[in-house]
Amino acid sequence: MIYFENVFLDKNNYKQLLGALDYSFLCAYAVGMYLSGIIGERLPIRYYLTVGMLASGLFTAMFGLGYFCNIHNLWFYIMAQIANGLVQTTGWPSVVTCIGNWFGKGRRGLIMGIWNSHTSVGNILGSLIAAYWVSTCWGLSFVMPGVIIAVMGIVCFLFLIEHPKDVSCTCTPSSSSKAFLNGASRFRVQMPTLNAKETSKSQNSSTVVTGEGRHGTSAISFLGALRIPGVIEFSLCLLFAKLVSYTFLFWLPLYITNVEHLDAKRAGDLSTLFDVGGIFGGILAGLISDRLEKRASTCGMMLLLAAPTLYMFSTVSKMGLEATVVKSFRQLMFSVFVHLATVMLLISGALVNGPYALITTAVSADLKLLLNSTRNDSKQTLPLQGTHKSLKGNARALSTVTAIIDGTGSVGKQSFAV
């Protein structure tokens, strides 16, 4: 919002007004996310995602039109933010579901860690585009990203293939049982051998699952998704990770401007280093969790290391500010502390956004794998060791699970605005 502050610069409380704009967007995003996953489970992903991207482009561009139309009405921008927050919730549950359809358990952490880097790349491009026009025509800082996402929405509609079955691709599941981590415990599906009599009996007592989607899978209710082991735990973990991540995303340029005394463009460019670190952090978290087969332990360790790193970044930044007051060795000291702050910013981005990326991608897909494993064996009357009773018959839950986890994390995003 540093690019936007000259709209209300004549107000004494302009920082509070900018905070209100952030808060309106984040509240709408958090509320809409819980609904988006439920809706997304029941609609074709391609259509749902296309409409969301086109609408996001429209409301983002509308925000920038305030510059060209010389609009200084706070409620105009608040309504644009609320609408933008709601329509942007169509994105994440949809794309995670689509990627989850194409990639199995295997090296999911690494694959999704690399794929998830697009979020940081988008943040970087958004900051650079906004910083380019911040001093000349800030309206284009919103219009141009709006046009880009609308164009990509059309590309999505034309080329997105949401499921391998849509192009007659089949996947052969492994015959051996696979164990995977849902956060704290391993759940292993065991297939006991049945004799002919038991097989006949189990087939006669099998139940038919109704409410199936277009790919032969049923949707899950909101409360049913909450009962999946690990959903609540990872949701709370993401809440605090997002609080830190989006505090940096929204306020880091302004913080750098005040502490380092840099202009808005240089501050915007420097703030992208946090997202650059996030790219490597997401890949590293996925790789480590695949090797250790411990998603929760990986997230916990990185978040524990993030706490002292953030404190060190704040300390180094303030020391750089104090160094500018010293007459002797002023330029040398300032350069040293700026470079130290840059390194700490990269490390902080990796340690904060690494767990963030892991939870919203690989962990969500792992939780959904419980459902698929259970449903594939739903015709067996013998109980499946390690599966939860709330999972049976619900295989199309990735969008809802992702929405619950990401929506709870979004509550953390709006907490920093308070």
pTM for this prediction: 0.69
pLDDT band, residue 378 (cuts 50/70/90):
very low
Give phi and psi for 180, each to the nearest 5: -150, 160
The architecture that CATH gives domain 14-164+221-370+395-417 is Up-down Bundle (1.20)
CA–CA separation, 359 vs 241, rounded Å? 10
pLDDT for 67: 87
The closest alpha carbon to 351, from 285, 414, 270, belongs to 285
Report, as an integer, the average pLDDT of 380-404: 53
Question: Could you give the percent of the chain with pLDDT greater than 90?
Answer: 17
The closest alpha carbon to 191, from 346, 386, 37, 3, belongs to 386
Report, as an integer, the average pLDDT of 284-304: 89
The one-letter amino acid at 48: Y
**Angle subtended at Cα 397 by Cα 119 and Cα 404, rounded to the nearest 5 degrees:** 55
pLDDT (tens digit per residue) in 42-76:
888 899 999 999 999 999 999 888 888 888 888 89
Whose tokens are 């250790």? That residue is: 292
If one counts every other C-beta atom within 10 angstroms of the C-beta of residue 196, the result is 7
pLDDT surpasses 70 at 394: no
DSSP labels, 271-340: HHHHHHHHHHHHHHHHHHHHHHT-HHHHHHHHHHHHHHHHHHHHHHHHHHHHHTT-STTHHHHHHHHHHH
pLDDT (tens digit per residue) in 154-209:
999 999 998 888 887 765 444 333 444 444 333 333 344 444 444 444 444 433 33
Lowest mean pLDDT among 90-94, 195-199, 308-312, 367-371: 195-199
pLDDT for 362: 80
**Torsion angle defined by CA atoms of residues 122, 124, 129 and 130, in that order, rounded to the nearest 10 degrees:** 100
Lowest mean pLDDT among 238-242, 333-337, 397-401: 333-337
If one counts every other C-beta atom within 10 angstroms of the C-beta of residue 167, the result is 7
DSSP code, position 396:
B
pLDDT surpasses 50 at 265: yes
pLDDT (tens digit per residue) in 207-261:
333 344 445 455 667 777 787 778 888 888 888 888 888 888 777 877 777 776 6
Partner residues linked to 179 by β-bridges = 188
Mean pLDDT of the chain: 74
C-alpha distance from residue 35 to each of 82, 227, 297 (Å): 15, 17, 30
pLDDT (tens digit per residue) in 83-110:
999 999 998 888 888 887 787 666 778 8
